[in-house]
Amino acid sequence: MSANIHIQVEDFDVTEEIDALTREQPEGTGAVATFTGYVRGDNGLAALTLEHYPGMTEREIARIAAEAGKRWPLSGVTIIHRVGRLKVGERIVLVAVASSHRAAAFAACEFLMDFLKTRAPFWKQEERGGGAQWVEAKSSDDAAAERWRKS
């Protein structure tokens, strides 16, 4: 399984990334599932700033991708996560998974997002009218990831 992992400030083009992923895949690839996340403007959010430790973040995401590759027959994975200051409506993350079958692609895509939310070392700061505040981990994200430990 090939895994392309990028942590970057720049925006990305979803279509270009899917094209790149499928160009590299064997003829047996029958499905690509994707997730694109955007910065939501909930509760007066103006912007979100993400920080990470270069090298450490990529290694942890590679471990998560490898774990997905052990669980499902994947031919390729692309994960792009943006860092820096992002405004409401901007793309923040892309997960694209290629597999021979849709069920594996869907499940792996969801698994990767659940573990990106809980295991990838990113720190988020929200900007609202009253200033900036670091975001605490959410128990709902932990619960979503926990279900994969049981399966």
Give the integer Cα–Cα distance in Å for 10 and 15: 15
150 pLDDT more than 70: no
Give the confidence band of 147 by pLDDT, cuts at 50, 70, 90. Answer: confident
Please return the burial class of 122, using the count of CB atoms within 10 Å of its CB with bins 0-12, 13-18 and 19+: buried
pLDDT at 16: 96
**Looking at the 3D structure of the chain, how many domains does it have?**
1
Give the integer Cα–Cα distance in Å for 11 and 7: 11
* Domain of residue 99, residue span: 2-136
Q: What is the pLDDT of residues 22-67, one digit of tens each?
A: 886 667 788 999 999 999 988 889 999 999 999 999 999 999 999 9
Pure H helices in the chain = 14-23, 56-71, 102-119, 139-149
- CA nearest neighbour of 137 among 120, 151, 118: 118
Q: To which H or E segment does residue 16 belong?
A: helix 14-23
Q: What is the CATH number of the domain that holds 22?
A: 3.90.1170.40
- Is 107 a member of any domain? yes
Give the integer Cα–Cα distance in Å for 84 and 95: 19
- Is 146 a member of any domain? no
pLDDT at 137: 72
The CA-based diameter of the chain, rounded to the nearest angstrom, is 53
Give the confidence band of 141 by pLDDT, cuts at 50, 70, 90. Answer: low
- Non-local (6+) Cβ contacts of 9 within 8 A are 82, 83, 84
Q: Position of tokens 């998560």?
A: 64
- Is 149 a member of any domain? no
pLDDT at 135: 85
Q: What is the pLDDT of residues 90-134, one digit of tens each?
A: 999 999 999 999 999 999 999 999 999 888 899 999 999 878 988
- Please give the model's pTM, rounded to 2 decimal places: 0.91
- Is 141 a member of any domain? no
Q: What is the pLDDT of residues 70-101, one digit of tens each?
A: 999 999 999 999 999 999 999 999 999 999 99
